[in-house]
Amino acid sequence: MTASLAGPDVAPALSVRGVRHAYGAVPVLQGVDLDVRSGEVVGVVGPNGAGKTTLVDVLTGAVTLQEGRVVLGGDDVSRVRGAVRTRHGLARTHQVPRPFTGMTVFENVLVGATAGGVDRATGYDRAARALVATRMTALANRPAGALGLLDRKRLELARALALQPRVLLLDEVAGGLTDAETDDLVDLVGTLSGQGLAVVWIEHLVHVLVRAATRLVCLAEGTVIADGPPDEVIASPRVQQAYYGGPGS
Amino acid sequence: MTAVLEVGPAPTVQVVRWSRAASATVAGFVVLVAVAAAVPMLFVPLVGNRLTALLALVVLAVTWNALAGYAGLVSVGQQGFFGLGAYAVLALSDLGLNAYLSVPLAGVVCALAALPSSLLLFRLRAGQFAIGTWVLAEVFRLLVSRVPQLGAGTGRSLTSTTDVDPALRQAFTYWTALAMTVLVLVGAFLLLRSRVGIRLQAVRDDENAARSLGVGVTGEKRLVFVLGSGGAGVAGAITLTNSLTAQPDNMFGVQWAALMIFMVVIGGIGTFEGPIIGAVLLFAVQQLFDGFGNWYLVGLGVLAVVATLAAPRGVWGELAHRRGWTAAPLFHDVRWPALPLAPGAAARHDAADTTVREEGRR
């Protein structure tokens, strides 16, 4: 999976087709289509209530898919349980970091690194790579419960990377980071996507995504209202209207 | 798929999983077991009788800690399997089996009973799960009370060992208990040290996060529930072969759940060493107040109050937290030979302590 620069003939790493989801009588996703290719960083933006969180839940299998399809690397995972989707190459971070507080940083990363029954040495190797990539090596023996917010966010990323995913789902990772920390994060995501990782980055901080994303997707009222290069999407009248309520200037 | 993470050169990592303290623990454990095995030959039988009760407590504490401390399964119904184990020995003896061989088999019976039970109980969460396990224990008690062959509600005695000389019988019971305790301790240690142990702790700390990292969660929990319930059954079987009488209200009594929680919380929940210490402390209080009737409960209360005030993490939990003590080597101590270590990242174990190294590839 060395970035075979996403030609249109290559199957997307992640493909979402006609996904609809409702909580009771309230429709939240109303027919979402989305393709993410290897090497792409796709930013997903949208005003509050657009369905971003539900989209995350649908992709990760946290909620049962009601209608539509989710395909990972050619495998239809629509009916596959969340824990098993990692075997199809999906990894995620959580909006609010969820470290395993009773374990060290290394042990946290080892959970993902040893998933799928790899041997011990391979697990250690994967964990080590994830810690190096997120610059957490010096914290390897720290109890995860003692980490500050930034390190907890890095740990989220390290654990996800230890799964050696093909598709990485970032859920609001930039919130609360300083500009320098955000720069680091954007650089890291750029490096990983350069190596063929497909990234779906859901974020309400649009300015971060404009820098990091190769493509921007805007959700509003449960549908994709814009999909394209970040500058064009931001400038689109429909997106302006969705965010500010009036016609775009 | 390995191309994705090759950021920079491949790191060299050493993961140290042994220490001098661990060697001392293993040596101490071997000596202790050897001495314990010699006890019936050296001391009056009464000591053997009491020590058997202690061993049953250790098994109960260690297996309950595996459930609550490592898998997040706070069961208050393990007395159901404790009682079932005791009655299994009665039933197996009636079938002509040797009472001492029945003890490990009673554990198997309880593990088998735990498997279908888990299908029902695992639909419940947290507090509901706790209550559900208690209900299950009551169901087991009521079922056993309906069986006249097992003495129904009034109970029965184990008669298959009565023709053995009492001193010899106590020694056999004690040796059986010792062998089962060693088996449970070594088994629990190996399980927690394996990759399953890491996954279990992840489940305990955050089920949803564990799931997102590919941990099935239910399978891991079921494994611990089945093994832990087998352990509770073994403790019940030991208790029956020691006391020789079983009565449903006692064997399935919720006081056993209270003792399990007491030992694990006082000793240090989620630590390997804590429950053993908790069992010894409980045993000490029981011996101290022996002959003073219900003052024993006052002693327990005082110990609980003092422990929760002075050591809220439990005795061993505090030592591990404040001083970094680890007797059982369940840790992963990471070294980066090629990378500079930041201050504060000092390992929990001195480099000189290292006797075994497991190196990552390359």
Of A102, A133, A159, the CB nearest to B7: A133
Q: How confident is the model at residue A245 (pLDDT cuts 50, 70, 90)?
A: confident
Contact status of B361 with chain A (Cβ, < 8 Å): yes
Contact status of A96 with chain B (Cβ, < 8 Å): no
pLDDT of residue A6: 45
Q: Cα distance from B255 to chain A (closest Cα, Å)? A: 29
Q: In chain A, positions 41-60, which contact chain B (CB-CB < 8 Å)?
A: 60
What integer is the mean pLDDT of A68-73? 94
What's chain B's average pLDDT?
87
Contact status of A4 with chain B (Cβ, < 8 Å): no
Residue B196 pLDDT greater than 70, yes or no: yes
Q: How confident is the model at residue B75 (pLDDT cuts 50, 70, 90)?
A: very high
Residue B353 pLDDT greater than 60, yes or no: no
pLDDT of residue B345: 42
Pairing label, strands A215-220, A41-45: parallel
Report the C-alpha gap between B20 and B17 in whole angstroms.
Answer: 11
Report the C-alpha gap between A14 and A3 in whole angstroms.
Answer: 15
Residue B164 pLDDT greater than 60, yes or no: yes
Q: Which residue of B has its CA nearest to A103?
A: B201
Of A83, A99, A137, the CB nearest to B211: A83
pLDDT of residue B339: 59
| pLDDT, tens digit (0-9, with 9 covering 90-100), for A181-226 | 899 899 999 999 999 999 999 998 888 999 999 999 999 999 999 9
Report the C-alpha gap between A3 and B6 in whole angstroms.
Answer: 13
Using a pLDDT cut of 70, give the percent of chain B over it.
90
Of B217, B334, B359, the CB nearest to A140: B334
pLDDT of residue A204: 86
Q: How confident is the model at residue B346 (pLDDT cuts 50, 70, 90)?
A: very low
Q: Which residue of A has its CA nearest to B15?
A: A124
Contact status of A184 with chain B (Cβ, < 8 Å): no
pLDDT of residue B165: 84
- Return the structure tokens found at B223: 């494994």
Q: How confident is the model at residue B8 (pLDDT cuts 50, 70, 90)?
A: low
What integer is the mean pLDDT of B260-286? 95
Q: How confident is the model at residue B351 (pLDDT cuts 50, 70, 90)?
A: very low
Q: Which residue of A has its CA nearest to B203?
A: A100
pLDDT of residue B258: 94
Residue B34 pLDDT greater than 80, yes or no: yes
Q: In chain B, positions 251-310, which contact chain A (CB-CB < 8 Å)?
A: 270
pLDDT of residue B360: 34
pLDDT of residue B327: 83
Q: How confident is the model at residue B160 (pLDDT cuts 50, 70, 90)?
A: confident
Q: Chain B residues with CB inside 8 Å of A188's CB?
A: 7
pLDDT of residue B151: 85
**Residue listed under structure tokens 């720069």:** A183
Residue B294 pLDDT greater than 60, yes or no: yes
What's chain A's average pLDDT?
90
Cβ-Cβ contacts under 8 Å for A182 (sequence gap 6 or more): A174, A208
Q: Cα distance from A249 to chain B (closest Cα, Å)? A: 42
Strand segments (E) across chain A: 14-23, 26-36, 41-45, 67-72, 75-76, 90-92, 167-171, 198-202, 215-220, 223-228
Q: In chain B, positions 1-30, which contact chain A (CB-CB < 8 Å)?
A: 1-8, 10-13, 15
Residue B1 pLDDT greater than 60, yes or no: no
Q: Which residue of A has its CA nearest to B332?
A: A107
Contact status of B154 with chain A (Cβ, < 8 Å): no
What integer is the mean pLDDT of B154-171? 85
pLDDT top residue among B167 and B122: B122
Q: Chain A residues with CB inside 8 Å of B332's CB?
A: 104, 106-107, 110
pLDDT top residue among B5 and B179: B179
Q: How far is CA A152 from the centre of its chain?
A: 16
pLDDT of residue A247: 54
Pairing label, strands B14-16, A167-171: unpaired
What integer is the mean pLDDT of B127-136? 96
- Return the structure tokens found at B89: 């020995």
Contact status of B139 with chain A (Cβ, < 8 Å): no
Using a pLDDT cut of 90, give the percent of chain B over it.
65
The class of domain B14-355 in CATH terms is mainly alpha
Best of A40, A81, A124 to substitute, by most chain B Cβ atoms within 10 angstroms, is A124
What integer is the mean pLDDT of A18-22? 94
Residue B4 pLDDT greater than 70, yes or no: no
Of A111, A130, A140, the CB nearest to B198: A111
pLDDT of residue A3: 42
pLDDT of residue B361: 32
| pLDDT, tens digit (0-9, with 9 covering 90-100), for A34-66 | 999 999 999 999 988 889 989 999 999 989 999
What integer is the mean pLDDT of A68-92? 93
| pLDDT, tens digit (0-9, with 9 covering 90-100), for B183-194 | 999 999 999 999
Residue A74 pLDDT greater than 60, yes or no: yes
| Residue contact B215–A166, C-beta within 8 A | no
Residue A168 pLDDT greater than 80, yes or no: yes
Contact status of B214 with chain A (Cβ, < 8 Å): yes
Of A60, A121, A139, the CB nearest to B360: A121
Instruction: Give the sign of the dihedral formed by CA B60, CA B139, CA B85, CA B162.
Output: positive
Answer for the pair B269, B121: CB distance below 8 angstroms, yes or no. Answer: no
Name the range with the highest mean pLDDT among A184-193, B58-67, B301-310, B326-335: B58-67
Q: Cα distance from A221 to chain B (closest Cα, Å)? A: 27
Residue B183, SS3? helix
Tell me the one-letter amino acid at B95.
L
Q: How confident is the model at residue B356 (pLDDT cuts 50, 70, 90)?
A: very low
What integer is the mean pLDDT of B212-220? 92
Report the C-alpha gap between B334 and B359 in whole angstroms.
Answer: 10
Q: Starting at the earlier edge strand, list the strands of the sheet with B14-16.
A: B333-335, B14-16, B357-359
Q: Cα distance from B204 to chain A (closest Cα, Å)? A: 8
Answer for the pair A18, A223: CB distance below 8 angstroms, yes or no. Answer: no
Report the C-alpha gap between B289 and A7 in whole angstroms.
Answer: 80
Answer for the pair B78, B232: CB distance below 8 angstroms, yes or no. Answer: yes
Pairing label, strands B333-335, A14-23: unpaired
Cβ-Cβ contacts under 8 Å for A88 (sequence gap 6 or more): A72, A73, A75, A77, A80
Contact status of A92 with chain B (Cβ, < 8 Å): yes
pLDDT of residue A244: 83
Residue B43 pLDDT greater than 80, yes or no: no
- Return the structure tokens found at B259: 């003792």
